[in-house]
Amino acid sequence: MKRKKLVIIGGGFGGLNACKALKNSELEITLLDRSNYHLFQPLLYQVATAVLSPGDIAAPIRGILSKQKNVRVLMSPATSVDQKNRKVLTADGDFEYDYLIIAVGSRHSYFGNDGWEQYAPGLKTISDALSIRERILSSFEKAEKLNDPKEIEKFMTFVIVGGGPTGVEMAGAIAEISKKTLLKDFRNINPALTKIILVEGSPKLLNMYDEPLNKKAKESLESLGVTVRLGESVTKINSLGLQIGGEFIETPNLIWAAGNKASTLIESLDVQKDRIGRAIVERDCSIKSDSNVFVIGDSAMFSENGKPLAGIAPVAVQQGKYVAGIIENDTPKDKRKSFVYFDKGSMATIGRARAVMQMRNIKLSGSLAWFLWGIVHIMFLISFRNKYKVMSEWIWYYLTQRQGIRLITHKTDWS
Amino acid sequence: MKRKKLVIIGGGFGGLNACKALKNSELEITLLDRSNYHLFQPLLYQVATAVLSPGDIAAPIRGILSKQKNVRVLMSPATSVDQKNRKVLTADGDFEYDYLIIAVGSRHSYFGNDGWEQYAPGLKTISDALSIRERILSSFEKAEKLNDPKEIEKFMTFVIVGGGPTGVEMAGAIAEISKKTLLKDFRNINPALTKIILVEGSPKLLNMYDEPLNKKAKESLESLGVTVRLGESVTKINSLGLQIGGEFIETPNLIWAAGNKASTLIESLDVQKDRIGRAIVERDCSIKSDSNVFVIGDSAMFSENGKPLAGIAPVAVQQGKYVAGIIENDTPKDKRKSFVYFDKGSMATIGRARAVMQMRNIKLSGSLAWFLWGIVHIMFLISFRNKYKVMSEWIWYYLTQRQGIRLITHKTDWS
């Protein structure tokens, strides 16, 4: 019997977990990814704020799958899917499939203002994180050299757009680096001039959480010196700064954490899409036009009780494993049980020793939530190697309160 | 009494050690560097070969000097020195000095063929190391996708030009990553197709060492599968490969470790320069035209017994401390004792558990030399933080034989 071919596009949480769940199957698996590494995205903000190195939260995909002999890993971005001929097209040739899993994640959305991206980068990739790190650190260096207080203030102003988990975590982390590191390492900068502003269009932070956690998050940020502006929208972003309502704030330090859209690969699929370009999938995560093609994770819109599942790692992980089960057993469409998301809770950290978490009806905030956050994230890190490294970095950071990776690496050397 | 002003240009081994030696002085010190970090350059080849992260061997200069209140650190590249008015010129303004220490290091020299640099990068900065890492890892990824053995061979060929310590260390490290990692993580590549070639123009490797160490180094490399070609010169480098004598070797993987030249800042000094642009300094490391201006480390040519001191870290460290003593005591030129280099020995590592070392008449090779190499390098790492991190990476690498930082980070994400 000919072995069936499975192509997985994307080595993130969804794709990688589907692949690993199939380690004993008879399938011929090809995993395609644009990068050569799997990224532990929930900790990416710590690379952007100089606590962790990229190597601490990323691991080569082929290293993770080194012992799984039924999979071939290729660093080839898929350009489109030819559903009729059951092929994935890439610059390195076509890949035929019997089954296809699409798990390509999402990108930032600037709500039609794509020109804003160059001034307000988002945080999805290692390269995004390094460029935000460079921007933040360079601003401190610049401010140290200036004498005009108005100019200094500009470089010491940081605006984060979007009050979801990424925005809240970035605001907290920037507050910590600027308040603590500045005091010790800089001679000229007056920390009182630092302004950190978090802008959110809706009336509360962390929309996916229930009260009182939204309030707790706001209070925690305010106690770190962050100005939280709710119910306000950004109407303009350019090289000088951004417009919020009637006010124009001058700063080169803008970070975008406000919206996502599905990756462009989804466009080539014969499937209905939602407002942000995600594939609207069936109860079994397949698409209506082909029950052997699955879309999972951030690129999929899966409704549960009339509400779409959030674009978070646990959803992608569970969908990956679920879809792997269907494929391994060759279950026909009409015999497949619906995917059910098991909510293990959500958590967001706000600086050192502060976090909020919610697991169904249990709500926690403060240092216990922060401690649990640390445990859960260490457990989730995919390879033992990274657990060990991140833990040692955190112990270091906790004890010394000094971000270790404060490198501006894009500059050239003495020439 | 007005405090005297010292400007130090460069936060490498020389500049940083001069600065630290002056921690109790009454001087007003300004340290200028193009980067915001001090780099432990002797381990840079381990970043290029995916064993260490940039953050493991670099630390923010202002973090290292955080507690030294008489110094101000600025990230400003010096553009030239105005000796007449005793000022260092930068894009951020001029800095007056009573004393000046120039410790700006060196750059690669392509012996007049500057066009070669884009095809055969050298290894001086973090950015150099990351681009070499990207080139090596991308070649493996490319080879995995190809079918034509001739094409595969091209991507699996690595040529290192220059048989000094950097060239020898790079050749050994590439041999290890390609032989070991390839076997485990790739499915298509035949490791027998890998070719690693080390080209050296003179008749022996590691010229600064005595026999039998040069032979030992050659044997060690050969046992790792490296082809060592002595007494041969590169006559052409282009996008397709390089010409050695009558042979043209096709490969995109070229690494330049063959020559250095002093940084361009030295050009603006009123001092005699040697063939590679280094300032020829007096017995006290000052320049003839001004006894309050010192040039140390790789940018200086200091002769001892008619032989110039090598451009290695211990020379820069000792010169930095020596010059600091003169400045702290305000010793007039005629009262200054000559600088004397205390040779603590040299060492180079050739893959895991192999090294050569020489300390005056003591010569060692093999695993004992390698073990001592590890101890010495850990001791030299400037901050405790990095000692701890590098040691844990090395223990990991030693036990697993897997390079952990195999990330190709310049690529963009799914878009």
Residue A267 touches chain B, beta carbons under 8 Å: no
Residues A166 and A280 in one domain: no
Return all residues near A25 (Cβ < 8 A) that are at least 6 apart.
Answer: A70, A327, A328
Chain B positions touching A402 (Cβ under 8 A) are 63
- DSSP track, B197-221: EEEESSSSSSTTSPTTHHHHHHHHH
Query: Under DSSP, is residue A49 helix (H, G, I), strand (E, B) or coil?
Result: coil
B64-to-A13, A167, A191, B28 alpha-carbon distances in Å: 38, 31, 20, 17
Among candidates B55, B404, B414 on the partner chain, residue whose Cβ is nearest the Cβ of A407: B55
Residues A252 and A132 in one domain: yes
Q: Report pLDDT for B17.
A: 95
Residue A321 touches chain B, beta carbons under 8 Å: no
Among B236, B258, B280, give the residue marking a domain's end: B258
Main-chain phi, psi angles of A78, to 5 degrees:
-75, 135
Which of A262, A264, A326 is closest to A299 using CA atoms?
A: A262
Residues A331 and A314 in one domain: yes
Residues B14 and B123 in one domain: no
Q: Report pLDDT for B403.
A: 65
Residues B235 and B297 in one domain: no
Query: Which range of residues forms the domain containing residue A134?
Result: 114-258
Min CA distance, B365 vs chain A (Å)? 31
Q: Report pLDDT for B350.
A: 87
Residue B169 is among the residues annotated as catalytic for this protein: yes
pTM for the predicted model, two decimal places: 0.87
CB contact under 8 A, A411 and B127: yes
Is the distance from CB of B291 to CB of B307 less than 8 angstroms?
Answer: no
Taking the C-alpha atoms of residue B81 and residue A194, their distance in angstroms, rounded to an integer, is 34
Q: Report pLDDT for A257.
A: 94
How many domains would you assign to chain B? Answer: 2
Chain A positions touching B76 (Cβ under 8 A) are 145
- DSSP track, A283-338: TTSEETTEEEEEE-GGGEE-EETTEEPPS-HHHHHHHHHHHHHHHHHT--GGGPPP
Interface of B with A in 91-150 (CB under 8 A): 92-93, 104-105, 107, 124-128, 130, 137-138, 141, 144-145
Q: Report pLDDT for B256.
A: 96
Q: Report pLDDT for A303.
A: 93
Quick check: is B341 in a domain? Answer: no
Q: Report pLDDT for A386.
A: 62
Residue B161: strand pairing partners: B199, B256
CB contact under 8 A, A60 and B185: yes
Q: How far is CA B36 from the centre of its chain?
A: 17
Residues B283 and B186 in one domain: no
CATH number of the domain that residue A123 is part of = 3.50.50.100
Interface of B with A in 277-296 (CB under 8 A): none
Among candidates B54, B107, B414 on the partner chain, residue whose Cβ is nearest the Cβ of A34: B414
Among candidates A66, A92, A104 on the partner chain, residue whose Cβ is nearest the Cβ of B185: A66
Among A258, A277, A293, give the residue marking a domain's end: A258
A244-281 residues labelled b (16+ CB within 10 A) or e (exposed):
beeeebebbbbbbbbbbbbbebbebbebeeeebbbbbb
Q: Report pLDDT for B327.
A: 97
Q: Report pLDDT for A26.
A: 94
Taking the C-alpha atoms of residue A366 and residue A171, their distance in angstroms, rounded to an integer, is 17
CA dihedral sign of residues A307, A311, A316, A317: negative
- Give the number of other CB atoms < 10 A from CB of residue B87: 17
Quick check: is A362 in a domain? Answer: no
Min CA distance, A167 vs chain B (Å)? 20
What digits encode the pLDDT tens for the residues A105-119? 999 899 889 899 999
Quick check: is A368 in a domain? Answer: no
Query: Under DSSP, is residue A257 helix (H, G, I), strand (E, B) or coil?
Result: coil
CATH number of the domain that residue B100 is part of = 3.50.50.60
Taking the C-alpha atoms of residue B415 and residue B411, their distance in angstroms, rounded to an integer, is 11
Taking the C-alpha atoms of residue B269 and residue B289, their distance in angstroms, rounded to an integer, is 9
Residues in chain B: 415
Q: Report pLDDT for A378.
A: 74
Residues A125 and A53 in one domain: no
Residue B62 touches chain A, beta carbons under 8 Å: yes
Among B213, B238, B258, give the residue marking a domain's end: B258
Residues A23 and A132 in one domain: no
Residues A192 and A252 in one domain: yes
Q: Which residues of chain A have pLDDT under 50?
A: 411-415
Q: Report pLDDT for A164.
A: 92
Chain B positions touching A46 (Cβ under 8 A) are none
Quick check: is A357 in a domain? Answer: no
Among candidates A56, A127, A410 on the partner chain, residue whose Cβ is nearest the Cβ of B412: A127
CB contact under 8 A, B411 and A185: no
Quick check: is A251 in a domain? Answer: yes
Residues A194 and A229 in one domain: yes
Residues B211 and B312 in one domain: no
Residues B155 and B130 in one domain: yes
A105-141 residues labelled b (16+ CB within 10 A) or e (exposed):
bbbbbbeeeeebeebbbbbbbbbbbbebbbbbbbbbb
Quick check: is B347 in a domain? Answer: no
Quick check: is B318 in a domain? Answer: yes
Q: What is the pLDDT along chain B (415 residues), one digit of tens a residue?
A: 689 999 999 999 999 999 999 999 999 999 999 999 999 888 899 889 888 888 888 888 998 898 899 999 999 999 999 999 999 999 999 999 999 999 999 998 998 898 999 999 999 989 889 889 888 889 999 999 998 888 899 999 999 999 999 999 999 999 988 877 777 788 888 777 789 999 999 999 998 888 889 999 999 999 999 999 999 999 999 999 999 989 999 999 999 999 889 888 999 899 999 999 999 999 999 999 999 999 999 999 999 888 899 888 999 999 999 999 999 999 999 999 999 999 888 888 887 778 888 887 888 888 888 888 877 777 766 555 566 566 666 666 666 656 666 766 653 322 2
Strands A106-108 and A28-32: unpaired
Q: Report pLDDT for B414.
A: 28
Return all residues near A352 (Cβ < 8 A) that are at least 6 apart.
Answer: A176, A370, A397, A398, A401
Tokens of residue A233, six digits: 């929208």
CB contact under 8 A, A412 and B137: no
Q: Report pLDDT for B389.
A: 64
Quick check: is A401 in a domain? Answer: no
